Structure 1
Amino acid sequence: MTRSARPAILLVDDEPHSLASMRMALEDDFDILTADSADQAMTLLREEWVQVIFCDQRMPGRTGVQFLTEVRESWPEIVRIIVTGYTDPGDMAEAINAAGIYQFLTKPWHPDQLLMAARNAADLFAMTREHERLSLEMKHLGTTAETKLEKRRRDLRERQGFDAILRSPQSRMNAVVEMARQYASFDISVLLSGEAGTGKQELARAMHHASLRAEKPFLALNCAGLPDELLELELFGARRGAVPGLATNRIGLLQKADRGTLYLGGVESLSAKMQMALMRVLREGAFLPLGGHEAIRSNLRLICGLTGDLRALMAEGRLRTDLGYAISAGEITVPPLRGRRGDVAILATACLFDAASLHGKQVRGFDDVALGFLENYDWPGNLRELENEVTRMLIFAQDPLLGADLISRHILQADPGEDGADRALDPILTREGTLKDRVELVEMRILRETLTRHRWNKSRAAAELGLSRVGLRAKIERYGIDDPSGANATEEED
């Protein structure tokens, strides 16, 4: 099959002089192919690229309509024109229905009339092909756009999901994330307990994006320090005029989070009134906006954050027992940063590059000494304190590689703290691991506590613990316990 830059027209007629006349009228503008029968025309169509057919109606064997009907079945894009001396309405209707005839050209035809019909037919063929091309492109673009949209959604879910919780392969957070992943697929209320700044809201967001509610809103509110009036407005919303200065209706978070997830942090700070109101929402699945007269239903998932111990708060009467159990169908304890030693370097580096991108400053990272100091600090302010320290280091950095000289003095000089969940025995007694591993953790903490209390006088520490000085030194080396002040330890006795 060959193709030409000019449109190709096939002329089909059993009269030689008719073929010659049509060729003469059209050959200046088109490539012309001729056939004196339907069979010969079919052979040409299988070998040549044809845009338009002019076919005589009355031919031996098959009529023009019969031939063009076959053409329509095999090459529907070809524009088909009948040349006939008869214009019976019945024949015309049959031709249009059966063969999809574009135009009837009556004999005798004028050369200009024939040429105009050919040009219009060729233009129609070109436009039809262009329309098909554009339709395919639009379909492809639509599919591509959907694919890109789905990819963006997937990337967003990954960035906001569990993959966004940075941690090392040996991190304590791995068990926390696995537990959260299990709870995420079950539509129940979950309580996240842990110190302030440990990333409870980020974990709640990750659970939302791993749940069946992922396509719906995730909203968050920290209740700590907010007065009841503001909390009511934020959670329940208000009708116009219900609050001084409110000129329009205010939609609350309970309504905005419908079919999505609402995270409430600091629930231990809720007043008795707000605890009762929240309990009513959980029990009835509906709430009344301020100044409203009709309850609004909301199908939301509630994830709460708590600073403190749930059962202690309920025992002390600071948290309603029914509310405490209602918000804790699932419970997850988020460890403090000082209990995630292997994660600090990863988190600090991520904070550094985020801050560098935000402030437009080029950095390469931290040197090993700086990372060592950051890893060994207890971070009582958890992730927020780490982010602040890294940003401060970035501000004062003169070189792309940040060194320990940029670290705040209180971090460089700090002794390991003795407060917090990781210093208590409960996490060790309840965590996973062999008996040997868990006993060694207890032993390491006792050694560190005793050495710190005796200001790293090894003789005094050994005497209290009933160890020889050689035995104490061996344990210090075994556990890699270092004096955080950097001073040389003494073994002198009083």
Structure 2
Amino acid sequence: MAETLPTLLLVDDEAHSLNAMRMALEDEFDCLTAPDAGAAARLMEEHDVQVIFCDQRMPGRSGVEFLTEMRDRWPEAVRIIITGFTETNDMIAAINEAGIYQFVTKPWHPDHLLMTAKNAADLFRLNREHARMSLEMRYLARNVETRLEEQRRALREGLGFENVLRASNSPLNAVIAQARQYASFDVPVLLTGEAGTGKAALARAMHYGSLRADRPFQEIDCTGVDDDILEIELFGARRGAVAGLQTAKIGLVQKADRGTLFLNGLAGLSPRMQLALLRVARDGAFRPLGGHEMQRVDLRLLGGADRDLRAEVAEGRFRADLYHALARTTLEVPPLRARPGDLGVLAQSLLLEAAAAHGKPVHGLSEDAIRFLAGYDWPGNLRELENEVTRMLIFSQDAVLGPELISRHILQAVPGERCDPALDAVLTGRGPLKDRVEEVEARILRETLTRLKWNKSRAAEELGLSRVGLRAKIDRYGIDAPGRQSQTEEE
């Protein structure tokens, strides 16, 4: 019996391009062709397609939009974009939203196209074989169980607790030690801490440190999301249940079956959504929008909240039964101001990530820049730090970023000390007027000199002082130039 050829779906609104692709591939593959996304979706329903080649620029839905829908409905199909353009934004969107395996740029060579198709078909076969083996692993002998443990170890090393950046003596170490213990027990965990402290990264690490590491990890931030939208995102919807929804939508609860679902922003959930999540937490049961029967899943729930849910329960704003279902164990993630030793590691890492994303190579932050950053309280935690280093990157002219690029309100914080008392406390506190005014004056002098790279002539001019008067104030307040910075004064 002849071997069945792998099935490819070719989508392009230009007939000559479609024919050219078909002619290049038809000797090795069973080729289906479609002139638009609608016709392609119908072919997907009728055939077992292994690889999709789709043009990016098409009337109606773009290639990325179409392949994003295909990813949700047929996640095993390998998705490839063909484009005559190489915009960075399109590429990033394709990778993040549609899970693109590869880009093929126009004009393509037939041999290159054929090789890409063969590699994609091999990937499909390997993925399907892996899925089959995963189902059989529980029944196989000890050597196969060892192989599975090696795969889990690789996941833990790449996406687990080692991926949570911190210094060797970080206060986060104690939290991670607890999280490692919780990870191996298949129970719900509630992570509490201020917004932006990295609860999602810790939840992801717990998943990849658990026995569910080889299954899906899904996450959603419920903060400020309308109930109707949140219900569809979590539980999915049947075809026709929502106006404009032409196909059934799979919710995150179902996608996380046999894996982990992290729900952040629990404190803002409405009573209606609390009740719906209680069914999932207690019985693993949910009902898609428009569905008539309850469905069941086997998943682990991890929760995140930026407020004390016990206080919310006491005030009657959060269900006690849902709280106890989710808080079998709890972890408190410390804010960034409680982790001053981590600041340098985090800032350098965030800067290099931003530099790579924006294509602007830099070597890092100077020691003096890190010292100033460490002197600030960071009420916005990691998100605020990420915004600040990105802003510094935008204005940087040198490979090593100095403190003159830092925002003024951060420069006015006292380097090497916590922001206590803060400026508001100085203004509203007690004490002689002279002392309080001098503290504010010292902060302004330090910020101005740093921002102007200790050019005393420019600083004196901006502050309305003579050079002699400025030098006297510097000596009076004991303000020192950064130790590693030796700029000469510009006259």
- Cα deviation 1:333-375 (Å, max 9, x = unaligned): 1111111100011000011111122222221111111010111
Residues 152 and 213 in structure 2, CA contact (< 8 A), matched pair in contact too = no
**Corresponding residue for 2:261?**
262
3-state SS of paired residue (1:191): strand
Matches within 5 A, 1:383-462: 383-414=382-413, 448-449=420-421, 453-454=425-426
Displacement of 1:148: 12
What is the distance in 2 between the residues matched to 1:328 and 1:322?
10
Residues 285 and 295 in structure 2, CA contact (< 8 A), matched pair in contact too = yes
Letter in 1 for 2:251: G
What is the distance in 1 between the residues matched to 2:320 and 2:394?
48
Residues 415 and 452 in structure 1, CA contact (< 8 A), matched pair in contact too = no
Residues 238 and 291 in structure 2, CA contact (< 8 A), matched pair in contact too = yes
**Corresponding residue for 1:203?**
202
3-state SS of paired residue (1:342): helix
3-state SS of paired residue (2:421): helix
Residues 302 and 327 in structure 1, CA contact (< 8 A), matched pair in contact too = yes
**Corresponding residue for 2:380?**
381
Distance 1:229 1:393, change over 3 A: same
What is the distance in 1 between the residues matched to 2:321 and 2:420?
42
3-state SS of paired residue (2:382): helix
What is the distance in 2 between the residues matched to 1:366 and 1:408?
14
**Corresponding residue for 1:314?**
313
- Cα deviation 1:313-346 (Å, max 9, x = unaligned): 1111111111111110110111111111000110
What is the distance in 2 between the residues matched to 1:402 and 1:327?
44
Displacement of 1:288: 1.0
**Corresponding residue for 2:351?**
352
Displacement of 1:453: 3.9
3-state SS of paired residue (1:304): strand
What is the distance in 1 between the residues matched to 2:390 and 2:221?
24
Structure 1 gaps of 5+ residues are 1-141, 417-443, 464-482
**Corresponding residue for 1:289?**
288
**Corresponding residue for 1:431?**
none
**Corresponding residue for 1:299?**
298
Distance 1:400 1:319, change over 3 A: same
Residues 262 and 301 in structure 2, CA contact (< 8 A), matched pair in contact too = yes
**Corresponding residue for 1:248?**
247
3-state SS of paired residue (2:263): strand
The two structures have a TM-score, normalised by structure 2, of 0.56
Matches within 5 A, 1:78-477: 154-414=153-413, 448-449=420-421, 453-454=425-426
Distance 1:211 1:151, change over 3 A: closer
**Corresponding residue for 2:59?**
none
Distance 1:316 1:271, change over 3 A: same
What is the distance in 1 between the residues matched to 2:364 and 2:420?
30
Distance 1:367 1:149, change over 3 A: farther
Displacement of 1:294: 2.1
- Cα deviation 1:225-249 (Å, max 9, x = unaligned): 1111011101111111111111111
What is the distance in 2 between the residues matched to 1:379 and 1:450?
12
What is the distance in 2 between the residues matched to 1:356 and 1:275?
41
What is the distance in 2 between the residues matched to 1:406 and 1:450?
22
3-state SS of paired residue (1:248): coil
Residues 451 and 457 in structure 1, CA contact (< 8 A), matched pair in contact too = no
Distance 1:272 1:408, change over 3 A: same
- Cα deviation 1:25-48 (Å, max 9, x = unaligned): xxxxxxxxxxxxxxxxxxxxxxxx
**Corresponding residue for 1:110?**
none
Residues 197 and 382 in structure 1, CA contact (< 8 A), matched pair in contact too = yes
What is the distance in 2 between the residues matched to 1:458 and 1:327?
45
What is the distance in 2 between the residues matched to 1:246 and 1:449?
55
- Cα deviation 1:241-269 (Å, max 9, x = unaligned): 11111111111111110010000000111
Residues 155 and 213 in structure 2, CA contact (< 8 A), matched pair in contact too = no
What is the distance in 2 between the residues matched to 1:395 and 1:187?
44
What's the % identity of the aligned pairs? 57
Displacement of 1:282: 1.6
What is the distance in 1 between the residues matched to 2:194 and 2:344?
20
What is the distance in 1 between the residues matched to 2:235 and 2:338?
38
Distance 1:278 1:484, change over 3 A: farther
Residues 219 and 263 in structure 1, CA contact (< 8 A), matched pair in contact too = yes
What is the distance in 2 between the residues matched to 1:177 and 1:329?
17
Displacement of 1:155: 4.7
Residues 240 and 246 in structure 1, CA contact (< 8 A), matched pair in contact too = yes
Residues 216 and 259 in structure 1, CA contact (< 8 A), matched pair in contact too = yes
Displacement of 1:169: 1.4
- Cα deviation 1:150-181 (Å, max 9, x = unaligned): 98875543232101111111111001111111
Distance 1:454 1:223, change over 3 A: closer
Letter in 1 for 2:421: E
3-state SS of paired residue (1:290): coil
3-state SS of paired residue (2:327): coil
Matches within 5 A, 1:47-66: none
Distance 1:314 1:484, change over 3 A: farther
Distance 1:289 1:459, change over 3 A: closer
Letter in 2 for 1:327: L
3-state SS of paired residue (2:205): helix
Larger radius of gyration: 1
Letter in 2 for 1:189: P
Residues 354 and 390 in structure 2, CA contact (< 8 A), matched pair in contact too = yes
The two structures have a TM-score, normalised by structure 1, of 0.56
Distance 1:414 1:175, change over 3 A: same
What is the distance in 2 between the residues matched to 1:219 and 1:484?
46
Residues 238 and 289 in structure 1, CA contact (< 8 A), matched pair in contact too = yes
3-state SS of paired residue (1:220): strand
Superposed CA RMSD: 3.2
Letter in 1 for 2:384: E
Letter in 2 for 1:318: R
**Corresponding residue for 2:137?**
none
Residues 263 and 301 in structure 2, CA contact (< 8 A), matched pair in contact too = yes
What is the distance in 2 between the residues matched to 1:457 and 1:489?
21
Letter in 1 for 2:272: K
Displacement of 1:390: 0.7
Equivalent pairs counted in the alignment come to 299
